[in-house]
Amino acid sequence: GIQVEQSPPDLILQEGANSTLRCNFSDSVNNLQWFHQNPWGQLINLFYIPSGTKQNGRLSATTVATERCSLLYISSSQTTDSGVYFCAVAGTYKYIFGTGTRLKVLA
């Protein structure tokens, strides 16, 4: 089956810093999504991005399907950005989640 690896596994930032999270997948996929799981466990859909680039405020994401890679950029990080970031790829009628990046932003 499709393997989805994320890096780095853990990241600690000072408030205001920028960061790049990576998602690599082992096979062609139909689409890719990024999620943020807040400290209370709620999963929020950040981007639906099968290809190209999207931006939403301080966050942006880029997927290059031919390279089997997606990047999530967080600029001017805030403490509320803390949590776990997952990418999920759609194979054949199911979504496979990546290993996750645990982010902690320090005030």
Partner 1 sequence: SAVISQKPSRDICQRGTSLTIQCQVDSQVTMMFWYRQQPGQSLTLIATANQGSEATYESGFVIDKFPISRPNLTFSTLTVSNMSPEDSSIYLCSVAPRLGVFGEKLFFGSGTQLSVL
- Give the interface with partner 1 as residue ranges (CB under 8 A): 30-31, 33, 35, 41-43, 45, 48, 50, 86, 88, 90, 93-100
Angstrom distance (rounded) from CA 2 to CA 15: 35
Q: How far is the CB of 1 from partner 1 (least distance, A)?
A: 8
- Which CB, 37 or 60, lies closer to partner 1? 37
Establish how many alpha carbons lie within 13 A of residue 51's alpha carbon, considering only the half-sphere containing its beta carbon. Answer: 6
Nearest to 83 by CA among 46, 28, 33: 46
Q: How far is the CB of 82 from partner 1 (least distance, A)?
A: 15
- Which CB, 83 or 98, lies closer to partner 1? 98
Q: CB of 59 within 8 A of CB of 74?
A: yes
